[in-house]
Structure 1
Amino acid sequence: MKRWLRNGALVQLQPGVLALPERADDWTLRARAASRWAGGPVSHVSALVAGGLAAANDGPVHVTVPSARCPRGGCGVVAHRSDRRLVTVRYGTLEAVEPERSLVDAWAWAHTPRRNPRARQEQPIIRRAVIEGVRGRAVHAAAVRRASVRLGPHPGGPALLDLLALIAGGCDSELEIWGVQQVLPRPPAVPPYVQQYRLALPDGRRIKLDAAWPEALVAVELDGAAFHGSREARERDLRRDSALAALGWVVLRFSYARLVADPEGCRREIVAAVLARLAH
């Protein structure tokens, strides 16, 4: 075995865990090696990677072990110790901490820059995982909130609860969060709007409007480049807007560039449209 290690026929992933050289860079194999060496499931951002909520990266593999264990000598592994009971799930051959707790643990770790040198890099990754996890129903916002409360006061906790409240209110993307926080007007300028307002079109399609004032028949659509930038997407939006117009709706559609560059101007246009329609 020592000879194979010396001549490169095998490589050591962790103490006591060996692999063929051509498999050494495989993320799942590295995660399994870290889990076996530490004696605990993958956790934090590594559990999110295992569950498909984050992309594999070249950072360390995170595992969580009981506080009585203190694994030492590993390479490229962050071993977290915890007194709390671990609930785990399996992703293929990999055991991982449940996604709700993993999101909260990863969020807290990403807001601990003194201990985590990758904190600033990980924050947008974990934030995206929370939004997409709830939107894709891999987790529920209420379950993540309960996991945060069970952990107790933790780094970034208030910001996480604020984000979960925005998602629960109907925000499906960072653009919609920006719109709610920076663009969409609130009382007393105009009546309250309805997020993700559901509506049936004459052709039988059921759609959701990003924000709507049903009493004024005014809708606001926030167009992200990823979903509205292609020719096909623009044609789809035009057909949808025409169908809404036939029902008496006015659709105000704002591009990502306009929303970010001129939020005040967008807000003024929305207020003017809503008040004008309410006056008739």
Structure 2
Amino acid sequence: MTDVVEILQRSGGSATFAQLRGFASGRTIRRALAEGRIKRVAKGVYALPVDASPLTVARAHGGVLSHESAAQQLGLDVVTIPLKPHVTIGRTKRRRTTRLPCTLHWSDAPELDGATTPVRTVLDCAQNLPFGEALAVADSALRNGLVSAEELLAAAIAGRRPGRARAIKLIEASDARAASALESMLRARVLAAGFGGFVPQYVIADGEFFARVDLADPKLRLVLEADSFAYHASRDALRRDCRRYVNLAMRGWTLLRFSWEDVVLDPDWVAVAVTSVVRGGPARRQNPLKRAA
């Protein structure tokens, strides 16, 4: 008989009583529970005595991970981690009683290994998340080969739920070439500002120079790059970076660099900066009250 703790570790930190009984006796399970080596998180659901993982929360509620929680489970990019796991329960299923918090959804969602399928996950995010955050999920699903653009578009067109038009628009904008969630968010910002010519991971090269940039519009000769906090690991890296940007300028390209805070927390700044450069003069931020109206 296998140790109960080992069974739970192999099962992602939780399992139902029926699943445990396939490897251990009822007496062994009860002893592990009495010794505090495992804990009951819902009727018939047991877990390791640590903070519950999102997968454990989903099992405790009798559902599966969905939306951005499913995206995380599937290894997809998410811009922000939800405070509580998103869990979807079948319409005809009864919710289990548990104290583990979650954001609950009711739907007959196709599932795979404790989470909604990649196609359903992308569509859920497309219909419920802000455009940029949903685009990051869709881009990474395409990049990782979990779905194809044709599959996503067909599923979005066939959908009958609210948000169908929104999902179709997002799928049409998704691109497997995007290299990161922050880059996807940056592309979403410029799309929202009316600039549709930016190409992800664009290559600029000649006989003496090669660069692959986050986003570039060949007609505007404009490059956009999304920089993380620890971008330069050494003095040499900083020097190479400076030389790269000077080489771009020498070849007639204008470069705009944006931080995580610029892209995620201040979307107006991206639109103002790109618009200013394209028009050749300072652009004003839109009045927040007018924008809200």
TM-score between the two structures when normalised by the length of structure 2: 0.59
Number of positions where the alignment pairs a residue of Structure 1 with one of Structure 2: 232
Question: Do the aligned partners of residues 145 and 6 (structure 1) sit closer, same or farther apart at CA in structure 2, a change above 3 Å counting?
Answer: same
TM-score between the two structures when normalised by the length of structure 1: 0.61
2:199 is aligned with 1:195: yes
Amino acid at match of 1:15: K
2:117 is aligned with 1:81: no
Q: Check the 8 A contact 1:219/1:252 in 2, yes or no.
A: yes
Q: Higher mean Cα deviation, 11-20 or 230-239?
A: 230-239
**Which aligned pairs between 1:205-224 and structure 2 lie closer than 5 A?**
205=210, 207=212, 210-213=216-219, 219-224=221-226
Which residue of the other structure, out of 28, 31, 53, is the alignment partner of 1:26? 53
Question: 1: distance between equivalents of 2:54 and 2:270?
Answer: 38
Question: Do the aligned partners of residues 235 and 228 (structure 1) sit closer, same or farther apart at CA in structure 2, a change above 3 Å counting?
Answer: farther
**Which aligned pairs between 1:170-249 and structure 2 lie closer than 5 A?**
172-182=183-193, 184=195, 195-196=199-200, 197-203=202-208, 205=210, 207=212, 210-213=216-219, 219-226=221-228, 230=232, 235-241=239-245, 249=251
How much does 1:124 deviate?
A: 6.5
* Corresponding residue of 2:137: 129
Identity of aligned residues (%): 19
SS of aligned partner of 1:224: strand
Question: 2: distance between equivalents of 1:14 and 1:58?
Answer: 21
How much does 1:178 deviate?
A: 2.3
How much does 1:251 deviate?
A: 0.9
**Which aligned pairs between 1:7-86 and structure 2 lie closer than 5 A?**
11-21=39-49, 23-31=50-58, 33-34=59-60, 38=62, 41-53=64-76, 54=78, 57-65=82-90, 67-75=91-99, 76=101, 78=104, 80-82=106-108, 86=110
* Corresponding residue of 1:99: 118
Q: Check the 8 A contact 1:42/1:64 in 2, yes or no.
A: no
Root mean square deviation, CA, Å? 4.2
Question: 2: distance between equivalents of 1:178 and 1:145?
Answer: 22
How much does 1:25 deviate?
A: 2.6
Question: 1: distance between equivalents of 2:46 and 2:198?
Answer: 56
Cα deviation 1:152-186 (Å, max 9, x = unaligned): 2423x3333333333349775222332344274x8
> Which structure 2 segments of 5+ residues have no match?
1-28, 263-268, 282-293
Q: Check the 8 A contact 1:223/1:255 in 2, yes or no.
A: yes
Question: 1: distance between equivalents of 2:81 and 2:270?
Answer: 32
